[in-house]
Amino acid sequence: MAQEHGALVVSVEHRFFGESQPFAGDKAGPLATGHLAFSNSRQAINDLAQFTVWFQQERINAVHGLPADHFNTWVVVGGSYPGALASWYRLKFPHLSAGSHSASGVVRAILNYTQFDEQVAAAAGEECADALRSVVAALEAGLPGSKALLNATALTNDGDFFYLVADSMAESVQYAHRDALCDAVTPPFRAGKPALAAYVSFVQEVFFGQMGNSAADYDTQALADPRTGGNGRSWWWFKCSEVGFWQVAPSSGSIRSAAVDYEYHRGVCSRVFGRAALPEIEATNTYYGSNVTAGTYTFYDNGVQDPWRWAGVQKPVAGAGVGVNVIDCDGCAHCQSLYTPSDSDPPQLTADRNMLRQAYKTWVARGNGQ
């Protein structure tokens, strides 16, 4: 899109993630709970507004000899939580942007997000989902020894371990590795044999090896340390304080272990941050409008198999220039429209990108504003 419109792409890091630490060097740790009071989505979009004005003045106008009041046409883009930020930025700062692409934007805060696991089961299909349930049962029966199979003996909290197990399945569906997962566990299950060994091989080769995850990512004892908690601690702060997204096991038909329940999530918030209060879900949804936002000139798309889709905009909403599309194809999952296009893309994904391309033309033609 940038090439088509002769545009500059600028990528901004979120405060309290990566190197963007407002309290870097603090003896208590840059991610001390007291510091994280300044970590929230409202502050994040205000950062983006301030950055936009600064970049326009200092890196465009001053460098190219343009008038001080010159303002280029800006389009904001993001996927997942950044997709929500892109939508919220457009809603709150319409004069600083012409349009927004919210790919799999999680704009609806949810406390007990049982639909997440239900969508994983639906996307996997009945036979694969049953195979995954059998794997979880085998891991539960094999405790504590089963932790060694996933390099997870350091996870002393069983909930942490089964959160790892749940993510190894859910993220594989979420990030278009569903076929690899199901192709591994379904054949032995169909033959009446244990699927555990095939699952372990998949985790080691794909979830750890290709996707870059590790068992250490799920150690809430490590997350509790503000000096070493890293991006995981920063993201859990959002889950505990503002957006929830607690991926709680459904009461029936759950793939994930029942150990990953409401009390587990509340316990993480208590152990990691000393926080007893629940996330401010209603305040977040009231401030931004949830998935019935009043924002304008925004394109929302979601993959039909994405477990995050239920936190996004999937139905038409009032507002000028708002486009909504669910990419309904086999394998279409999280932030799929942001992937590099290829000749093997399903036609539904190509159609979505064509809708987006038309939206860009409209945004650029109209310029910044309401």
Q: Residue 353: its pLDDT value, please? A: 96
**Residue bearing tokens 């999952």:** 333
Q: What average pLDDT does the segment 8-23 reach? A: 96
Interatomic CA distance for residues 339 and 53, integer angstroms: 29
What architecture is the 2-103+295-308+319-366 domain classified under in CATH? Answer: 3-Layer(aba) Sandwich (3.40)
Examine residue 144 and say whether the peptide bond preceding it is cis (omega within 30 degrees of 0).
yes
Higher pLDDT, 317 or 48: 48
Active site residue 343: no
* Per-domain boundaries in the chain: 2-103+295-308+319-366, 110-281
Residue 331 pLDDT exceeds 90:
no
pLDDT tier at 210, thresholds 50, 70, 90: very high
Sign of CA dihedral 175, 178, 180, 181: positive
Q: Which two tokens stand for residue 343?
A: 């000749």
13-17, 152-156, 174-178: the lowest-pLDDT one:
174-178
Q: Which two tokens stand for residue 138?
A: 């085998």
Radius of gyration of the chain (CA): 22
Q: Residue 307: its pLDDT value, please? A: 96
Residue 76 pLDDT exceeds 90:
yes
Q: Residue 209: its pLDDT value, please? A: 96
Residue 9 pLDDT exceeds 90:
yes
Furthest-apart CA atoms within the chain: distance in Å: 73
On whether the CB atoms of residues 229 and 164 are closer than 8 A, the answer is no
**Residue bearing tokens 């941050």:** 273
What is the per-residue DSSP string for 227-276? TT-HHHHHHHHHIIIIIEEE-PPPSSS-SS-TTSSHHHHHHHHHHHH---
Residue percentage of the chain with pLDDT more than 70: 100
What is the per-residue DSSP string for 144-169? TGGGGGGT-TT--SHHHHHHHHHHHH
Q: What average pLDDT does the segment 150-158 reach? A: 96
Interatomic CA distance for residues 144 and 153, integer angstroms: 8
Task: Check 160, 219, 306, 352 and give the catalytic one.
Answer: 306
Residue 370 pLDDT exceeds 80:
no
**Residue bearing tokens 């997709």:** 83
Active site residue 334: yes
Task: Check 130, 167, 334, 337 and give the catalytic one.
Answer: 334
Active site residue 80: yes
User: At what angle are helices 126-141 and 178-190 packed, to 10 degrees?
Assistant: 80
Q: Residue 239: its pLDDT value, please? A: 98
Interatomic CA distance for residues 350 and 352, integer angstroms: 5
Q: Residue 369: its pLDDT value, please? A: 83
Q: Residue 238: its pLDDT value, please? A: 97
pLDDT tier at 10, thresholds 50, 70, 90: very high
- pLDDT tens string 193-209: 999 999 999 999 999 99
- pLDDT tens string 90-100: 999 999 999 99
Q: Residue 171: its pLDDT value, please? A: 95
Q: Residue 228: its pLDDT value, please? A: 85
Q: What average pLDDT does the segment 352-370 reach? A: 93
Q: What average pLDDT does the segment 130-140 reach? A: 98
Q: Residue 318: its pLDDT value, please? A: 84
Residue 224 pLDDT exceeds 90:
yes
Q: What average pLDDT does the segment 122-139 reach? A: 97
| 268: phi then psi, degrees, rounded to nearest 5 | -60, -45
**Residue bearing tokens 């696991």:** 117
Q: What is the mean pLDDT of the chain?
A: 96
- pLDDT tens string 249-299: 999 999 999 999 999 999 999 999 999 999 999 999 999 999 998 899 999
88 exposed, middle or buried (CB, 10 Å; 0-12, 13-18, 19+)? buried
Task: Check 14, 35, 41, 80 and give the catalytic one.
Answer: 80
Q: Residue 319: its pLDDT value, please? A: 83
